[in-house]
Amino acid sequence: MTDVLGWRKVFGVLGPSTNTVVQPDFDDLRVEGVTNHYSRIIVQNPTALSDADFLRGTDAIDAATHDAVRAVMTCAPDYLVLGMSAVTFYGGAEGAAKWTKAVEDVAGTRLCTGALSLIEAFKAYGGIRRIAVLSPYFPVANEQVGRFMSDYGIEMVRDTPLRCQSWLHIARVTPAQLRQTILDLDGDDIDAIVQVGTNLSMMRLAAAAETFLQKPVIAINTATYWNALRQNGIQDRKPGFGRLMAEF
């Protein structure tokens, strides 16, 4: 017997308790027969004033992740979707794979991460080798994003870390701020603009930016949920969220 509402797939979604964007984003991307069941990774809202503070904050998220996994597994989801991104880039491809395996071992099921979802998105678009990256992070975390990308043959040509002062502050960055950042990052020397940081609300802006920049602009929440669907054989298209959801 299958779940009455999640008759195609039941997704367990993991995200920091301070994150107010990823849950509504993923619900907007949800398709018929798929349900999302959010499990909060309990953390406090730190004040990030430096690279070291940012790393301590993400370490706290990392340390609390397995408890959130155990909690969501009580509803027996078919698959896990990770609604946080920073730690999935740490340590390059090898570090990311080790981190993912540790979570999958606790869960006993597969996990979709933002980092690998971006790689899958690049394959879907085709021809993406040079990117610019926008994040709410501090520079030390953007460096990890660049390292991860280089392991997959992707060059991070330039990047903008917004240095948000707390986890809650990330959700308060306005579309106007993000639009200007995108314009500043753009150039003929890059194939795509990529946004990381799941509490940064950019799905709809990224979709709009693809039309006026005429190149892929990829929001990590869109890429993650798109990849989760595709990894489970669900090919539904959904307009309004960029080419990734509408075409691939």
210 and 226 fall within a common domain: no
Q: Is residue 3 part of a domain?
A: no
Q: Domain range for residue 140?
A: 116-219
103 is a domain residue: yes
CATH number (domain holding residue 130): 3.40.50.12500
Q: Is the pLDDT of residue 1 over 80?
A: no
Q: Is the same domain home to 110 and 124? A: no
1 is a domain residue:
no
The confidence score (pLDDT) of residue 212 equals: 93
The residues, ordered by sequence, that sit 6+ positions from 192 with a Cβ below 8 Å of its Cβ are: 122, 125, 128, 131, 132, 215, 216, 217, 218
Confidence (pLDDT) at 143: 96
152 inside domain: yes
Total domains present in the chain: 2
Residue 215 shares a structural domain with residue 229: no
Give residue 97's pLDDT: 95
Whole-number average pLDDT of the chain? 95
Residue type at 239? P
172 and 207 inside one domain:
yes
Please determine, for residue 176, whether its predicted confidence score (pLDDT) is greater than 80: yes
In this prediction, residue 74 carries a pLDDT of: 97
In a domain, 2, yes or no: no
CB 159 within 8 A of CB 135: yes
Of 113, 12, 17, 25, nearest to 60 (Cα)? 17
pLDDT of residue 139: 95
pTM of the model: 0.95
Q: What is the mean pLDDT of residues 79-84?
A: 96
What is the average per-residue pLDDT within 54-71? 92
The residue-averaged pLDDT of 119-126 equals 97
For residues 48 and 60, which has the higher predicted lDDT (pLDDT)?
60
How confident is the model over 45-56, as pLDDT tens digits?
A: 887 778 898 888
